[in-house]
Every structure is written in C-alpha cells, then in structure tokens.
Structure 1
Amino acid sequence: MCPKHPRAFPGRVWYARSMSHAPPNWVAEAARLPIAFAQVREDPRIDQHVVSRAGGGARVCMVASGGCTAAVLATMPGVARLHLVDASPAQLALARLKLRLLERHSVVDRLALLGHGEMRFDARREILTAELAALGYAADALGLPERVLAFGPDREGRYERCFQALNASLLNVRDELRAALALSAPDEQARRTAPDTALGQALDAALGSTLSLPNLVALFGEGATRNPVEPFSRHFARRVRHALATLPAANNPFLWQMLLDQYPAAGPADWLRLPAPAYPPEITWRQAMMADALRESPGAFDVVHLSNILDWLSPEEATATLDVAANALRPGGWVVIRQLNSTLDIPASGPMFAWDDTAELHARDRSFFYRALHIGRKR
C-alpha cells in the first residue's frame, strides 16, 4: 500500500529555506551536476496507452532519462523488452537503478531511498551504494555521493534544482499555493491563480526569474532552447494555468512536484506506487545518441519513445531521426513524441508515419509541460 499521509512525501522544504538566502550562483552550481533530469516530467499513462496498442510481447526502445517511465512500462505484462538509450552515463545509471529498486524494494523504501521520504543517511548510503555496485557502478555514478546519499537521487538533477529555486521564490505564497493545489475544482483553481491575482502575479514573477533563457542555456545548453514558440517562463506559466483550469490539482503529482517540490497526499508518481512486476521484461541499454542507437537495430522494435528530443534538433536532424526511428520499427510500429516549446513541425518532418489525432489524449496529460503530443504509426 502507498502511504497516504503528506509526511510520506515531505518535499524539500529545507532546500527552499536555504535557497532564500542562497548566493546567485545556484545556476552555476547546478550546471555541474551530471544528471539533467532526475525525475521524468512525462505522464506515463500516455506511454502505456501507446504500448498497449502494440500488442503482446512489445519491444520498446526509449530515452532513459530519469527512468520513471521505463519503470512503469516494466510493470506491463505485454512488454517483453525495454531498450534504454541515453547519451549520459549518469542518466542510464539512474534509470537502471530505479528499475532495480522497483524489483527489489517496497513502495515505502523506494520513496525514502530516492528522497521523497525520511531515511537516515547511513541507511540510504548502505542500500544505494550496494545497489549501484550490483549494477557495476561506483558510488559517484549519480553525482557527489555526500549530496546524492544525503538527499536522494531524485533531488539531485539540474531540472530539479530549477524547481527548487522556483519553490524558494514562492515561499511567501506557499500556503496560498498549497491551498489552491489541494482543490479538485478546475474553475476555482484557475480563479485563484489567474494573472490578475496576487498568487498569479507571484507565480509569474517566480517563473520569470527562475526559468529565464540565460538560466536554461547555462543548465542545458543552447540546443535545449532551440526555436522557442515563446519565452520559456511564459510557456510554463501558460501550461501551468492550462493544467489548473482543466484537471483536478489535488491528485496531480506533476503539479505538486513542480510548484511545491513534494507529492500530494493522494500519492506519488505512478511507478512509486506500483508493485514489482511478476515477470519483468528483458532490460538492455546503450549509451549513445538515440539516432545512432536506432540505426543499429533495423526492424527491432514495436514502439520507439523519443521523449522531446526533437525539440533539440534542426528540421533536417528531426527528419533524419524520424527516418531511422521508422527503420528501427517493425511494420505498423509506433513512435511517441512530446513537444515542449519548439516551432518544429513534427508531423511534416515524419512523412513515413501516419499521425494520430491526439487532442483527447493530450487533454488528459497530467504532466502538462508539453504543448503538443505526437503519436505516429509506421506506414
């Protein structure tokens, strides 16, 4: 059973308090972290939907990222193989660690080990060091051990530092924000956070100072901010308000994680409340750029999960990536792509796919970060 009391998901209030007096070089400090994305900000129910359409024995190639989506897919009886791909060795290590925690540890222990629940430093150090060693990794595979082991791997990514800084900027309205997120009434949620309210103005100011273009470039590189539709702070403000106006906030772990750095009382991310799979899939991995990994495996997969990596590419590079994705898929295989804030015309870049109408599915997307969702079937 998943613990229901909010203290099971205490967030990182300590960090928000210290950040209010932090030096302005938090961005430079965060940029040195080897993990870019400790927690996956994507709703895995979308990926489950796509994989279920592939039928039994599905072979899935996916961006490893923080491993949360991979862990959810690993619990699906219809998945035969998960092939994790990431250019970052730290991201691969984290994804593999989460899959191991899924198989070997209880829900309560997973939460505590990753930093969402309380655990003594020596206990977390002993378990995580042993689990990393069992996978062939040193204690520093995820970053500085004294920090990763003190606070948990899910707290030590560059994206996570962004949201910790955002939380610090929102400390003065934290009670009002928590009250708004405790609601299950989208109309009232939207009213309380509208741009003309004090809470809405505080939210816009915090997003503007934290998710500025210089900060994002320093943290993730210029490629991550290629061809934006609008400034990223404005994009996130718009997407947050979209989620608040359309979906209940009280049970949305993605809203709570971004704005309060903790899970709601309703429960944590999906994979953190799922039991270990009775028959886990074959897990393989490759440290490489996704296009290179796909090029190595013609016709090997039923689903290719590209996350939002096309946002980082030129139109020519995106077309080339979709071409190798199609080549790596069996006939009738599926590709799933998120699009954050780029102007790229993804369907036009992939004529080798028949693209679904995803409006209804996208409307149910709890992760809300992405302005578009693309699901294509190989022609």
Structure 2
Amino acid sequence: MAQHDYYEILGVDKSASDADISKAYRKLAKKYHPDLNHEPGAEEKYKEVNEAYEVLHDKDKRARYDQFGQAGVNGQGGFGGGATGGNPYGDFSGFGGFGDIFSDLFGGGSRQRNVDPTAPQRGQDLDYTMTIDFMDAIKGKETDITYTRSETCPTCDGSGAEKGTHPITCDKCHGTGHMTVTRQTPFGVIQQQTTCDKCHGTGKIIEHPCQTCKGKGTVNKKQTLQVKIPAGIDNGQQIRLAGQGEAGKNGGEYGDLYIVFRIRPSKEFTRQGTTIYSKVPISFAQATLGDQIQVDTVHGKVSLKIPAGTQPNTHFKLRGEGVPKLNGEGNGDHEVTVDVTIPKKVNDKQKEALVDFVKAGGGNITPQEKNFFERLKDKLS
C-alpha cells in the first residue's frame, strides 16, 4: 500500500483511545466490506482500513508507527532508505539516536512495556449474520438465534486449574509473561523481549489442569438468545448485544455480539433508506378521466386519487407510508409510479367507443386490423 496516514484512513486523531479506534474501524469495515459495497474502489479501501487498524490497535506497532511512520511497521525496522556513506545499514540521523531505535523495536531499555498477563482481559466481540424477510425488516419481530461462544468454565471458574488447586507463578519469567534474551547483531549485543516459552505469556503454570476445560479456563457452548429485530432495520445495519460475545480472561468481562442483517428482496416493493417504491397499473380510461384506486403499501391498502389527465410514469407520494425510522420519529414515504396499460385486445363496442372518442375531439383515426397470422397468434396465446 502507498504511504498513507493510518489515523487519517480511520478518521481519528493521533490522541484517539483504543475504543475510538475500534469504533471507527468497525464502522468503516462494514461500510467498505466487499459483500456489502460493490462500488469501484471499495475493496481497496477495505484493505486500507484493515491495514490501518492492524497497526493502530496494537500498542507496540502504534508506538513504532508514531515514531517512524510506516517504515517502523513494514518489516524495515524504521531504518528508512538505502545505505549512505560507509554505513551498509543506512543513515540513522533522523531517529533520535541509536539507543532509541533498538529500545523501541526490540523491547529493551526504558521503553520496555510491562503488561501484567494476569490482569483481567475483556473477551473478543463476535459477529453474527442474520437473513430476514423484507417485511420483517419493515415491521420488526422477535426471533431466536443459536451460536457458539466461549464461556467461563463452570468447573474451575476460569482458573484453568483442577478444583482444589491453583495456578502457580511461572518460575522462568516470574509471572511477567515475557523474558529478555540477548543476541549478537552487526551493531553489537542487543536485548530483545520475547514471550515466555514456558508459560506461553500467561505468567502462570497450571500443574493440575481442569479436566473440563483442559486448562484453558473456557469452554465452547451453544448459546440461544431471543433477538428483537428493530422495525426499519436496513440491509447491512447491525445491532449490538452487550456481554454476549466471548468470555474474558482472568475474570475479565464478556465481549459483545454484533448482529449484521441481510434483507431478502421483495417482489412487490423496493426500498431506499426509509422510502418505499412501487408501480401500479392503471387503464387508459383511468388515466384520462381520473379515478380513486387502492394501493398496496407495507402498512396495508391506501386510497390514492388519480387526477384526470394523468400521464404514464407519473409519481405520487404517500407520506408516512414508508419504512419506520429507527429513531422512532415516524415513517418515511411511499412513492407510487403509475403504469398506464394499453389493452392488447378490444371488442367491437370498445373499438367504436374509441373511434367516437377521437372524432369527438375533432380528430380522425383509421383502426388497423390484424392480419391472419396476428389473429392466429392471439388465439394460440
């Protein structure tokens, strides 16, 4: 990807919190997801949004990006361009000193992050796609969904240890979850922080794992929930069910469940936002003389006045007969387009009446009779 500002891509300030970044990412990911957005360039934008989020939601990567830009997170370690002078590894003059580079990239020195691996961690959010009928999206309904999520193990209460026992502090990393290793580089000896290979970053050792969860602290279970579909929900929109996501770690709270809606199309209506569109056939006589007709809407039949002299494809607006607004402030509108139909067959009386109609207006007409093949086609159809 070209050199872009990750903060600008997500539309957040450089001081944005993790929550703000996650919120902005979720909104943009839904907006540009290839399954929802088929406009040119949407897929590329979706990739940019994901790349920006992958960096900014990770504290280490974000710190490197803030100091070095993309060079700090694209595998070049913030070293910038090619070699200069007699140094085969490039010019470090723009990075504030040799020590700063390695302390930031390899975890040594005063910039080392010490995160308590035993601290409560919030569970992951889950996504669930629900496909519903057109009218259910208009009127709303309650329905049950079933999905699988991780839950706190009921046997060990999430500790991962067999009942009556407790995890012990890892003797290799002393409960920090990481360890510092020393290695030789072309620049000399540096220290690098890595995940503890004994406790795998948890900071604790489970000597007697729980038989139910096998030491994980969580078990996968099917969850059935009653979901209230809001009246007026649109294709691609979502609702959040707090605390219905994955189990947290170390007593952390559950994540959330996001339900994304897919709406089946209607044969009778189309929808754009809160506006409903439909077509209604009327006869030549109704269009010419005017009439009062009944029109189907998503809320039932409604009377519509057709003025005399109505032209084909005239649009009529039925106010308040459209989609309910999610904010509860009434309904959208329903736009009806009249389609003036021309009969393919008329009887003799109708034919005479039409000729008289033309003559009464001072005109003249010569009705065209169908030939043998056209009459035969009508009989067979």
What range describes the TM-score normalised by the shorter chain of this pair?
A: under 0.3
Bigger radius of gyration among the two: 2
Higher relative contact order (CA 8 A, sep 6+): 1
Which of the two has greater strand per residue? Answer: 2
With structure 1 as the length reference, what TM-score do the two structures score? Answer: 0.23
With structure 2 as the length reference, what TM-score do the two structures score? Answer: 0.23
Which of the two has greater helix per residue? Answer: 1
